[in-house]
Amino acid sequence: MRWPNELEVLLHAIRVAGKEAVRLAVTGFETIQKADRSPVTSADLAVNQILHSHLQSAFPTDGWLSEESPDGPDRLQKARVWVVDPIDGTKAFINREPEFCISVALIEGGRPIVAAIFNPSVDELYTATRGGGLSLNAKPITPPALQDERPPIVAMSPWEWDNGCLSCLDGMVTSRPMRSIAWGLALTASGHIQGLVTLEPENEWDVAAGALLIEESGGQIHDGGGRPLAFNQTTPRYRGTIATGATCPDALRQNLMFLTRMEKKTGE
């Protein structure tokens, strides 16, 4: 396996961070409102500090891009960059819902090469290295085939579903409310659900780790317009994210591609 040291350090760091997140969920935390009116908690900041300390100490020449750290142009000159969402699904964390996770990816040449998504509430740690496949709690896994004729499950924003933004999927899928896009991507990669779709803007830290998990499990992921995802961009943001798992039915894939064509026209 390539990058064994990077994966080992990441696994230790993310476990330590997850333990602290769970501790704060039990003992209490502070919540404040950011400039964009989204919430951030003292747990987000604590997890960010733990990850930064471990990863930057082990790999001091790597760059850093995190939702909870100030961004700067120096990362654009780095050969490798860690892309981090300390707690993806902060609202779920605040509500004590087991849908939040810690998402970390190492980027090289615009692509994720090492990734981990950890949901400490259920002790599920998904990892992948480029070319190394998908693992759950250090054991290789393969997404199971669909066993029945029930509609495939797709994670999506309840707001987009209720407002008809995804009406082309009506009658084809069972909608799973998406509290965390990173966790939705992990569930798609592992075969618990068959896809994820949102046409809302997303940040690199939301999807970097999940993108590698999806690819290494045999699935596909791109932005809302059907374009491949590139990472460590000057503006680390996409217009939508659409992912399908390895077991996603062909008919659903085709309808999701129809969505990408519609989104391209909207964005032109």
pTM score, two decimals?
0.95
207, 182 contact by CB (below 8 A): yes
Q: What is the pLDDT of residue 147?
A: 67
Domain containing 28: what range? 4-140
d(CA 239, CA 203): 9
Residue 148 counted as domain residue: no
pLDDT in tens, 188-206: 999 999 999 999 999 999 9
Query: Is 53:14 a contact under the CB 8 Å cutoff?
Result: no
How many domains does the chain fold into?
2
If we measure between CA atoms, which residue out of 220, 244, 219, 223 comes closest to residue 233? 223
pLDDT, residue 237, reads 95
Q: How many CB atoms lie within 10 A of CB 202?
A: 19
Q: In residues, how long is the chain?
A: 268
- Give the pLDDT confidence score for residue 265 in this predicted structure: 54
Q: For 1-56, how does the pLDDT look when each residue is reduced to its tens digit (9 = 90+)? A: 689 999 999 999 999 999 999 999 999 999 999 988 899 999 999 999 999 999 99
Residue-wise pLDDT tens digits, 219-240:
999 999 899 999 999 999 998 9
Q: What is the mean pLDDT of residues 144-161?
A: 84
pLDDT surpassing 90 at residue 267: no
Kindly report the average pLDDT of the chain as a whole number.
Answer: 93
Tokens of 223: 């932005």
37: region left, alpha or beta (phi > 0 left; psi from -120 to 50 alpha): left
Does 183 map to a domain? yes
More confident residue, 171 or 10: 10
Please indicate, yes or no, if residue 197 is contained in any of the structural domains.
Answer: yes
Asked if the structure places residue 42 within a domain, the reply is yes
Q: pLDDT-based confidence at 86, cuts 50/70/90?
A: very high
For residue 147, being part of any structural domain is answered with: no
Spatial distance between the Cα atoms of 173 and 74, rounded to a whole number of angstroms? 43
Q: Which of 115, 140, 165 is the last residue of a domain?
A: 140
Q: Which of 132, 105, 99 minimizes the C-alpha distance to 117?
A: 105
Classify residue 62 by its DSSP letter: S
Task: Tell me which of 140, 161, 183 is where a domain ends.
Answer: 140
Q: Say how far residue 97 (Cα) sits from the centre of its chain.
A: 17
